[in-house]
Amino acid sequence: MMHETMRGAVTMNKWKMPGLIILSTILLSACSVNSNADQFYKQPKPLSAHVMLPENIEPQSTQVLEVHVMQENKTVDDAKSVQFKVWKKDAPRKVETVKAHYDGSMYKAKAAFKEDGIYYIKTDINARGEHILPTQQVAVGKLSEKELRSLQPAENETHHHHSHH
């Protein structure tokens, strides 16, 4: 009994396949490629940012933060807004926001680092309809053992990220 059913299923499939092929050919030919498709579907062109931070930051200092913004390997000189948001790891509610200004090659701003510790620097870039928020972790002054341990994974992450460029 089982053998008969299997043979019946095979025969039915032989009839279904050519029908499916013909149907899909008709459907595909109905969807011709429109040469003006790029005007209908504007593809977003992702921004990229290379954030340059000082290597050694001392407490009670003001540092220049820089970011080079690019789109399709070309410098973006007309960003709607570029700002740096800086906060200490143990005080996430105390965010200092500084607006960056374009100097002919990069966006720059000055930020104050008041005390020792781990700080986050989020670069908020809004340009040409795109919005990116790269974030870095930096050490300021002398860190405690606990802070050094917590900084380690992020440091490795950053190095790993840069190896893709």
For residues 159 and 27, give the distance between their C-alpha atoms in angstroms, rounded to a whole number: 49
For residues 107 and 114, give the distance between their C-alpha atoms in angstroms, rounded to a whole number: 23
For residues 6 and 2, give the distance between their C-alpha atoms in angstroms, rounded to a whole number: 7
Q: What is the pTM of this model?
A: 0.66
Task: Please report which confidence band the pLDDT of residue 148 belongs to, taking 50, 70 and 90 as the band edges.
Answer: confident
Amino acid identity for residue 133 in this structure: L
Q: In the block, which residue shows the tokens 């290597």?
A: 55
Contact in structure between 86 and 98 (CB atoms under 8 Å): yes
pLDDT in tens, 68-87: 999 999 999 999 999 999 99
For residues 105 and 123, give the distance between their C-alpha atoms in angstroms, rounded to a whole number: 17
Which range in 1-10, 52-61, 98-107 is most confidently predicted, on average pLDDT?
98-107
pLDDT in tens, 124-135: 999 999 999 999
Contact in structure between 64 and 145 (CB atoms under 8 Å): no
User: What's the pLDDT at 150?
Assistant: 82
Question: What torsion do the CA atoms of 53, 144, 146, 87 make, to the nearest 10 degrees?
Answer: -40
Mean pLDDT over residues 131-154, rounded? 86
User: What's the pLDDT at 149?
Assistant: 86
pLDDT in tens, 50-70: 999 988 899 999 999 999 999
Contact in structure between 105 and 114 (CB atoms under 8 Å): no
Q: Which two tokens stand for residue 92?
A: 């996430």
The CA-to-CA distance between both ends of the chain, in Å, stands at: 64
Where do runs of H (alpha helix) occur along the chain?
Answer: 2-30, 37-40, 145-162
